[in-house]
Amino acid sequence: MAKIRVGRCWAIALALFGMLAIAAIACSEEPEQPSSPQHNELTIYSGRGESLVGPLIERFEEVTGIAVRVRYAGTAELASAILEEGDRSRADVFYSQDAGALTALAESGVLNQLPDDVVTGVPEELADASGRWVATSGRARVLVVSTERVPDPPDSIFDLVDEEWRGRIGWAPTNASFQAFITAMRQIHGEDATENWLRGMLANDVVEYPKNSPIVQAVGDGEIDIGLVNHYYLHRFIADDPDFPAFNHFTDAGAAGGLVNIAGVAVLKASRNSENALRFVRFLLSEEGQTYFSDQTSEYPLTSEVDVPANLVPLADLDPPSLALTSLSDLEGTLELLRDVGALP
């Protein structure tokens, strides 16, 4: 018994140290990171998921021959990591799920100026005023509605505080898109109206979710009847289950309910491959890139030459609130309001 134990103990120890040794060798053989410009490579920190944008990035590699390496993680975590890395950042490009993180990085001074022709490719309000980031695709705020239980959904988000909807609505107050929507609401409808609406929703037993996709799930499961989400999550559910019992409903054109959120991209000052980084930005805004968003991820393309997907209300009809997205950077005020009314911890 004792002998067996000793033998096994040594075997385990040997195996473990063997692995450590292999790891050490593997690491020491890895070429030194500092990639001089002649290396044809690019490093992207992507807050957008691999399933969504991975194929597009592969296409970019095929077209340009640039070797791209991507770190996928949450947008907020990556933005904070980039700030922590500072001028030693390993990222060339930051590809963000929302405008808030891009604005925060721009204000911290870690982003490079983009050339004018890149920024002017999209509508004016969809890029940073100083040209430090640019939007690449858009997502509309919609109500995701149960096909079975809500034949006639309300046309204004302000109707959601009615008694009729008590306990039947879901939202995700910790989600960046939701917060951008509240910021837009404050600017379009005023502080008081926004606060009243928030308090009304809470008093109406609105159900809280951690993010968008569980809301869509909950509408499908019958847990709630209406959810405040971005439009494109439903397409994933319908791709898996064509009978998924929910549909997207666009609300009040011109009001905050019709806000278009963006995914966007920026080049870092610390980038050692800024030429390649710029080529990637241009690729996302090219016809091929924009067509990909329209066809594959059911998002709004933002340049004029590509049509919006057939199942979406065109941007022009949507009449999204015409506010510069950078004015959405008054996030702190929104967060304070959300905390005051008790929607955020």
Residue 33 binds to other proteins (criterion: CB under 8 A)? yes
Among 95, 181, 237, 280, binds other proteins (CB under 8 A): 237
290 binds other proteins (CB under 8 A): no
| Closer of 116 and 332 to other proteins (Cβ) | 332
9-28 residues in contact with other proteins (CB under 8 A) are 9, 12-13, 16-17, 19-20, 23-24, 26-27
Residue in 192, 241, 243, 310 binding other proteins, rule: CB under 8 A: 241
From candidates 90, 132, 141, 231, binder to other proteins by CB under 8 A: 90
46-54, 116-124, 193-201, 250-258 -> range binding other proteins (CB under 8 A): 46-54
Query: Judged by CB under 8 A, does residue 62 bind other proteins?
Result: no
User: Quick one: CA torsion of 183, 186, 191, 193, rounded to 10 degrees?
Assistant: -120
Does 79 bind other proteins (CB under 8 A)? Our answer is: yes
Residue placing its CB nearer to other proteins in the complex, 26 or 316:
26
Q: Please, which of residues 174-233 interact with other proteins by CB under 8 A?
A: 174, 176, 179, 208-210, 213-214, 216, 221-223, 233
C-beta of 139: minimal distance to other proteins in Å?
13
5 contributes a contact to other proteins by CB under 8 A: yes
